[in-house]
Amino acid sequence: MMFENSFSSNNINHVSPTVTLYEERRPSSDRLFQKALNSMKTIFKSDFLPKKSKFAHGNSKKGGKSSVRESIEYSQPCSNSKTVNQQTSINASPASVLKNIVQIRPEGYLVGRFGRPVRSLGSGADGSVDMHIDASGNKYAIKTFKSIKISSNATSLGDVIDNRTANEILINSRIDHPNVVRALACFVELGSNSVHLVMEYCERDLFSLVMDLSDSSSGDNSFLLNRLFYQLISTIQFLHNTARIAHRDIKLDNVLIDSENNVKLADFGCSVVLNGSTVTGLCGSDPYIGPEVFVQGLQYDPTKVDIWSLAVVYLAMVSGRFPWEISQSRDKNFNYFCSSPVKFIDFWLESTQTFIPDSAKDLILSMLSLDPSARPSIDEVTAHPFFQYLDATYGQ
C-alpha cells in the first residue's frame, strides 16, 4: 500500500529539534520536550520496559557466556531448537508446546537457585524484569510473567500460560545467535502465579551508550556506531532468513551492549513467526513504528516494519535525536519528511559529528520509503554498497 504524500510543503530549515534523546539537555519545564519524552516512552505492548530498566542481559567477563550457561543445572537450558521448530510448525497453540521448555519447580526455587532480586530492571502489565545474583556471583536478568496459580499435581502448562506469554518464551528459546540475548532457563514454581524466564545479563543498552557518546567530547564516533549498526543488520538478517522471525520492536532500548561493545538484541514480546502471511495490530514504540502500522485493520508485512525501525535507529544513533515523535501526519517533523525526504535526511545528518557517507544516506532513504513494498528486504539491505562497506570493515 502506498502512503500518498498529502502533506503541505514546509521549510526544511525549521525541522524541530525537540525530539531529543536526552532529558538533561533541556529544562523539565519545556512542554514540547516533555511531550517528546512521553511519546518516546509510549509503547503499545503490555510488557514494555522503560529505557532505564530494560532487559540487560549478558556477562561482563570475556568468555563469560559459556560459564554462565554451564552454571545452570539444566541439561538443556531452554530447549533444543530443532524440537521447537518442529513443534511450532504444526497447528498447535504456543502454550500447548511448552512442555519441552518450561519446567515445574518447587516453591522457593527462584530465590534458592538465583538469589533474591537485587534491583528492578523494568515492569509492565504482564510482568517485570529483575537482576538476580546467585551464590557464585553470576548475574541474570529474570523476566517474571503473570499467570494463574498452579496446583502441586499440575501436568499441563497449557492451562497455566496464556498464548502471548508462551509465544514470547517459544521465540526466545528457539534463537541461538551471538547477537541475540540468550534464554538460559524457564520455569514455574508450584504454588506461584508466575512464570520465570532466565536470561543473560548486560550492563547497558544502545540508548545509554548513545547518550554517553553525545555527552562526551569524543568527536566522531562513526567507527563504533557503524560497527554496532552492522551487527544489528546482520542480526535481523538472521532473524528474518534463518529463524524466520520478525522482531517488530527494534529500538535503542532493546539493543543491548555487552562488555566488548557487541550488540545483543532483546525483548521478543512483539515478535511473530514468519509464515508468509501479513499481520495486523499496533505494536512497538512511537518513534520507531512504520506508518502503515497505524492504519487500523491494515494487513502489513512485519519484516518491512523491521526495516523501517532499523533506519530510525540509525538516525537516532548518529544524531542523538529522534527524527520524529510518531510517523503520522500530525507530527511536524514527519510532515517535513514526507514533503521532502531527501532534504530532511540531509538536514538531519549534516548536524551530526558522525561522518555519514552518501551511500548511507541512500540506504536509509530507501529503508524509510513510505510505501512498504518499496522498502528493501533485509537481503537487499545487505547487498547495498553501504552495508558492503560495513561488511568489508567489520565483517569476520
Which residue numbers are catalytic? 249
Q: How far apart are CA 207 and CA 125, in angstroms?
A: 23
Strands (DSSP E) contained in 9-116 are 103-105
Question: Is the CB of residue 205 less than 8 Å from the CB of residue 228?
Answer: no
Which residues neighbour 29 within 8 Å (Cβ) at sequence distance 6 or greater?
none
C-alpha to C-alpha distance for 241 and 253, rounded to whole angstroms: 24
Grid look-up 518516546 returns: 40
The residue behind cell 501436568 is 155
Enclosing H/E stretch for 342: helix 341-350
Alpha-carbon Rg of the chain, whole angstroms? 21
- Cα diameter, the chain: 68
C-alpha 377/C-alpha 114 separation (Å) is 41
CA distance 362 to 168: 35
In sequence order, the β-bridge partners of residue 122 are 129
- Choose among 160, 164, 169: nearest CA to 190: 160
What is the grid cell recorded at 359? 551511500
Question: What span, in angstroms and rounded, lies between the C-alpha atoms of 7 and 4?
Answer: 9
In this structure, what C-alpha cell is assigned to residue 342? 531527501
Rounded Cα gap, residues 42 and 20, in angstroms = 15
Q: How far is it, in rounded angstroms, from Cα 54 to Cα 122?
A: 6
Cell of 54: 530494560
